[in-house]
Amino acid sequence: MSTICSVSTPHGLGGIAVIRISGPLAFKIADKVFKSAANPPKTPPQMKTYTCAYGQVYSNDEIIDDCILSVFRAPHSFTGEDVCEISVHGGYLTAKKTVDALINSGAVHARNGEFTERAFLNGKLSLTQAESVMDVIRAKTNTELRMANAKKDGLLAKRIEKITGDLRGLCAKLGVWADYPDDYDYYFENFDIEEILLSVKSDLEELTKSPKSDEIIRNGIPTVVIGKPNVGKSSFLNCLTGRSTAIVSDIPGTTRDIIETEIMIGEHRLRIKDTAGIHETADIIETIGIARAKEAADTAEIKLLIFDAGNIDDCDFEIYKNLAEKSNTIAIINKTDLNIDLPSEMLTRINAKAAFTVKISAKNGTGIDEFTEILDKFIKQSKIYPDTEFVLNERQMTIAAAALSRITETVDVYKTSAALDIISVMCDSVLSELLTLSGENITVAVADKIFSEFCVGK
């Protein structure tokens, strides 16, 4: 087993940078680059676990930086191996030169996610817990962080363990029965096969029940910006992102297709689609764009209806009639910088279309703070976030859904024929599917692929 090293903190300037070393030679290699400032000096091979020492890190005889070196002895470390962490100042060269010095002393550069992969292979984390470490790092909202931590604490692993436990019991009995088929009564007395199959099915249904909400947590809340051409949809979006993600122009229909962008607004992550201006058109490209806009509106959790304060007419209401319901709509009256007095009956008509109405000027940025507050209120009130403890990532969802479809088939076969030899084969395949989910049954190649999506140093 090699000894690996890598910078674990982001590259660039920062207070500190942490370089991690893990493997059988971690202490010996660290000893070659570290000189303790203590008297008598502390050396990594002699230091106790969970202790640290102040000193300098060297490349040959040239000092790189002051540092703190921490020691974690196997198995009481993140990876389960001997681990050293060296904290240097977070400069452009300090961390890189420290890694070079460690490599010159016998370490190899860690692959993406290799520290976490080793933790998994050494039994420190289940696969789902290891995956959740990445979810914790990537979490952008409080909801994402809470759910990632629930998985890290092993909630998903426990659920899978319960299902695989039930299946293992059933598979074992079916296996023994296959060898001694005459003793059916003996093996299955007080053992209800159908009950176990149904319980596994219902547990898997529970696990996969909310793909829509999982999608919201993984990718942000699907949101669509709808409005006639030129009301300021793109300008509004640009205002939100603070960068140009859509073309702003005076020519109606410039936004011919849907532009999607992910935006953090307050503590919410929105996946916003800016749609083509919706109007009757002969232009074939625009027609396609408009059709897609309608499709996007159908699947959106939040619909932002944009009105141009200077040009509100029946056409606006005609468009919105088919695309929005009051409960999932926020009306945004744009171009208020034009200081146009809106008749009160017009406002009443707009309010009737939306849960909230807000006045903005995308041109000079006014009203965006009010919009942010209203959006927060709207999201909380409409209970858009799932009411679940955690969500599955795509790999987990794909496997759990396949296992559910297989167990559903198994239940059907059992009810129609009760052919136990077929049931036995089917249950084995569901079990092996679920062991891939928990990581008990994955090849090194699959583990390498999963962990390669982690960042370097993790």
Where does this chain bind ligand GDP (CB under 6 A)?
227, 229-235, 248-250, 255, 277, 334-335, 337-338, 361-363
3-state secondary structure of 56: strand
Nearer to ligand GDP, 29 or 333 (CB): 333
Residue 448: phi and psi, rounded to 5, are -60, -40
Residue 340 CB, nearest approach to ligand GDP (Å): 10
Beta strands 302-308 and 329-334, pairing class = parallel
Nearer to ligand GDP, 44 or 229 (CB): 229
Q: How many C-beta neighbours within 10 Å does residue 33 have?
A: 28
Four-CA torsion 380, 385, 386, 390, nearest 10 degrees: -120
Nearer to ligand GDP, 222 or 227 (CB): 227
- How many CA atoms are closer than 13 Å to the CA of 335, on its beta-carbon side? 16
Residue 364 CB, nearest approach to ligand GDP (Å): 7
Residue 257 CB, nearest approach to ligand GDP (Å): 12
Nearer to ligand GDP, 261 or 361 (CB): 361
3-state secondary structure of 405: helix
Q: Buried b / exposed e across 67-92, counting CB within 10 Å, b at 16+?
A: bebbbbbbeebbbbbbbbbbbbbbbe
| Two tokens, residue 256 | 């011919």
Nearer to ligand GDP, 62 or 250 (CB): 250
Nearer to ligand GDP, 329 or 334 (CB): 334
Residue 348 CB, nearest approach to ligand GDP (Å): 23
CB 82 within 8 A of CB 429: no
Nearer to ligand GDP, 335 or 458 (CB): 335
Nearer to ligand GDP, 254 or 432 (CB): 254
Residue 325 CB, nearest approach to ligand GDP (Å): 22
Residue 244 CB, nearest approach to ligand GDP (Å): 11
What H or E segment, with its residue span, contains residue 290? helix 284-299
Nearer to ligand GDP, 223 or 410 (CB): 223
| Two tokens, residue 374 | 């209203």
Nearer to ligand GDP, 229 or 386 (CB): 229
Q: What is the largest CA-CA distance in the chain?
A: 89
Helix axis angle, 155-179 relative to 142-152, nearest 10°?
40
Residue 224 CB, nearest approach to ligand GDP (Å): 13
Residue 276 CB, nearest approach to ligand GDP (Å): 8
Residue 9 CB, nearest approach to ligand GDP (Å): 40
* Alpha carbons 298 and 53: distance in angstroms, whole number: 60
CB 144 within 8 A of CB 217: yes
| Two tokens, residue 299 | 């699947």
Residue 263 CB, nearest approach to ligand GDP (Å): 16
φ/ψ bin of 406: left (φ > 0), alpha (ψ from -120 to 50), beta (otherwise): alpha
Cβ-Cβ contacts under 8 Å for 114 (sequence gap 6 or more): 4, 6, 451
